[in-house]
């Protein structure tokens, strides 16, 4: 694992993943919409003694993603590990009142953004015949959640894309897996909890404590490492058991 790319690397799970990958010896490129957060993560990677590169990029824009992946390889070298992680939560509202424009943006970022990341990184990994990718889905990829039509639909899409990509590379030394975190203490869960407090829209089965970004980052790092060399197409829950409750 020498050069890693993390999308949404300015935020909770992405930042923890960038730091964990640096600690494991990777140089890390960070893509995010938020330049302030992205620069902070890059500084943390450098503090760990690794090279860092932050590029302000909208993952839902194909031209920007193509250019960013190009630039990462030009400046840091071939990407061998990719955390395809950026995502947004949208709003909490019953489906019959769910705003069309919010649904569209969730499709753009959570579904198309993950597709574009896979597309541009696999286009480089496939000719080299090696590399590992982890898409950040959610336990919302395998269950319903009242009030979260856009989020749940797009996280199901992330799992579908993971399975297609894993089959495309099956039999090679490239692997594509998904992590399915339950609630994790980041800006996103604070936003959802605040909205749910107003609307009463989200109900969670099981009563596990919220995870920390590092809990998910550790699993992403494992799945990106050679220790997981026989794991492909997996949907790896990181939820302290709440989904099976």
* Binding residues for ligand NAD (CB under 6 A): 7-8, 10-14, 31-34, 37, 57-60, 85-88, 109, 113, 136, 138, 181, 183-184, 186-189
Number of H helices, E strands in the chain: 8, 7
User: 151 catalytic, yes or no?
Assistant: yes
Q: Which one from 82, 98, 115, 151 is the annotated catalytic residue?
A: 151
SS (H, E, C) 41-86: HHHHHHHCCCCEEEEECCCCCHHHHHHHHHHHHHHCCCCCEEEECC
- Output the smallest distance, CB 47 to ligand NAD, in A: 19
Shortest CB 7 distance to ligand NAD, Å: 6
Compute the distance between CA of residue 54 and CA of residue 28 in angstroms, rounded to an integer: 9
In terms of Cβ atoms closer than 10 Å to its own Cβ (0-12, 13-18, 19+), residue 160 is middle
Q: Which is nearer to ligand NAD, 66 or 126 (CB)?
A: 66
What does the alpha-carbon distance between residue 60 and residue 84 come to, in Å, rounded to a whole number?
12
Nearest to 137 by CA among 118, 113, 110, 99: 110
CB of 176 to ligand NAD, least distance (A): 16
Closest to 78 (Cα-Cα) out of 31, 114, 132 = 132
Provide, rounded to whole angstroms, the least separation between the CB of residue 102 and ligand NAD: 13
> Using CA atoms, how far apart are residues 199 and 171, in angstroms rounded to an integer?
48
Nearer to ligand NAD, 36 or 171 (CB): 36
10 Å CB burial of residue 162 (0-12, 13-18, 19+) is buried
Q: Which residues are catalytic?
A: 151
């Amino acid at each position: 694992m020498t050069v890693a790319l993390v999308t949404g690397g300015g935020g909770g799970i992405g930042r923890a993943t960038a730091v964990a990958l640096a600690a494991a010896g990777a140089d890390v490129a960070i893509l995010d919409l938020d330049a302030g957060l992205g620069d902070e993560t890059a500084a943390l990677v450098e503090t760990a003694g690794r090279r860092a590169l932050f590029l302000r990029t909208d993952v839902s824009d194909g031209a920007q993603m193509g250019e960013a992946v190009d630039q990462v390889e030009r400046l840091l070298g071939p990407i061998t590990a990719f955390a395809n992680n950026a995502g947004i939560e949208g709003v909490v509202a019953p489906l019959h009142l769910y705003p069309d424009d919010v649904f569209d943006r969730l499709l753009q970022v959570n579904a198309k953004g993950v597709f574009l990341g896979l597309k541009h990184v696999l286009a480089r990994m496939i000719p080299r015949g090696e590399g590992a990718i982890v898409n950040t889905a959610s336990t919302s990829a395998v269950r319903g959640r009242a009030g979260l039509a856009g989020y749940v639909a797009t996280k199901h899409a992330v799992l579908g894309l993971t399975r297609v990509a894993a089959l495309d590379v099956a039999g090679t030394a490239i692997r594509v897996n998904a992590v399915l975190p339950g609630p994790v203490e980041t800006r996103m869960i604070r936003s959802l909890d605040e909205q749910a407090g107003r609307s009463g829209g989200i109900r969670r089965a099981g009563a596990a404590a919220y995870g920390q970004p590092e809990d998910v980052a550790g699993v992403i790092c494992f799945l990106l490492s050679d220790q997981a060399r026989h794991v492909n197409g997996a949907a790896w829950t990181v939820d302290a058991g709440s989904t099976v409750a």
